[in-house]
Amino acid sequence: MMSILNPSLSVDCVIFGLDTKEQALKILVYERNIFPDENSSNKNLKFPGSLVADDESLDESAYRVLKELTGLKNICLKQFRAFGDPARIKYDEEREWSEKHYGVKIDRVVTIAYYALIRIDEQNPDQKLIRDKLRWINIDDADNLAFDHSYILTKSREALQQDLIFQNVMAYELLPKKFTLQQLQSMYELILGSKFDKRNFRKKIGKADYIVPLGEKQNGVAHKPAMLYRFDHKKFERSKEGIRNFFI
């Protein structure tokens, strides 16, 4: 039994996925069909989202969306910004689609935006649950999305970069359970959009006790096999308690 949806409040989820094989950062988009002539553009693509039910918190709403639309759970969502321009809904077609979709009259909608990080991995059973209207697109191709979602994307990426640099966020969700240091470095590079020196990177990693080497190596690769590592969540949490001594 669904509660009443608030017609002026929504949540939207920017879901970043790291494609380790393609070495690409992608986002999950929901495809509608409200502009039939625009198959080549992104006007039909939006982020997974929903109006907020009157008895749920914003976080609950975001997790509900994620679960309903993608089947994903146990992933970490982070609220990063509210978007409330009265003209966010740009086209009549979009408003009509929304009204039909939610069954309520819609005027102005303020959306609370979240981002999440997951890995794109065919071995990952969760992936099967993603519905057919959803698909991954490369983040570099994600211009001109529906509503103000391109702007939301820009802001989400800024927030992610900030969090990655300064808070060491949950970016490890993006990697497989066992990963190589090259994959780790590549993740940083993809998110931050810059390259790092391999040796210096590994020196830093060496100091992080929460990146722990398994005894194990890659196999089946046509080159020197890399050591596999895992991420220790407990040690990570403990390390984050360390005092910040930065200023200015």
Q: Which residues bind DNA (CB under 7 A)?
A: 180-182, 197-200, 202-204, 217, 219-227, 245
Q: Does 246 bind a copy of itself (CB under 8 A)?
A: yes
User: Of 159-188, which residues contact a copy of itself (CB under 8 A)?
Assistant: 162, 164-166, 168, 188
Least Å distance between CB 206 and DNA? 8
**Cβ-based nearer residue to a copy of itself, 42 or 111:** 111
Select from 9, 15, 29, 160 the one that contacts a copy of itself (CB under 8 A): 9
Minimum separation from the CB atom of position 175 to DNA (A): 13
Residue 52 makes contact with a copy of itself by CB under 8 A: yes
What does the block give as tokens for 198?
Answer: 């391999």
How far is C-alpha 42 from the chain's CA centre? 18
Closest CB to a copy of itself among 8 and 127?
8
Nearest Cα residue to 146 out of 100, 103, 91: 91
**Per CB under 8 A, 6 contacts a copy of itself:** yes
As a whole number of angstroms, the distance between CA 30 and CA 134 comes to 4
If the CB atoms of residues 55 and 92 are measured against a copy of itself, the closer one turns out to be: 55
Shortest Cβ 141–DNA spacing (Å): 24
Which residues, in sequence order, are CB contacts of 176 under 8 Å at separation 6+? 20, 119, 121, 123, 183
Q: Which does 168 bind (CB under 5 to 8 A by kind): DNA, a copy of itself, none?
A: a copy of itself
Q: Can you read off the two tokens belonging to residue 158?
A: 């800024």
**Residues 192 to 211: which contact a copy of itself by CB under 8 A?**
192, 194, 196, 204-205, 208
Helix ranges, 168-247 (H)? 181-192, 198-207, 233-240
Question: Which CB, 58 or 130, lies closer to a copy of itself?
Answer: 58
By CB under 8 A, tell whether 151 contacts a copy of itself: no
Closest CB to a copy of itself among 78 and 119?
78
* Cα-based distances in Å from 132 to 28, 65, 145: 12, 15, 19
* Residue 234 binds which entry of DNA, a copy of itself, none, CB below 5-8 Å type-dependent: none
Cα dihedral value 152, 108, 147, 154, nearest 10: -10
80 to 36, 95, 123, 175: CA distances (angstroms): 32, 25, 30, 22
Of the residues 41, 84, 91, 238, which one makes contact with a copy of itself according to CB under 8 A: 84
Nearest distance from C-beta of residue 54 to a copy of itself, angstroms: 6
Could you tell me where the DSSP H helices lie in 125-245?
149-167, 181-192, 198-207, 233-240
Residue 9 interacts, among a copy of itself, DNA, none and using kind-specific CB cut-offs from 5 to 8 Å, with: a copy of itself
Half-sphere exposure of 198 (CA within 13 A, CB side): 4
User: Residue 15 and residue 20: Cα distance in Å, rounded?
Assistant: 16
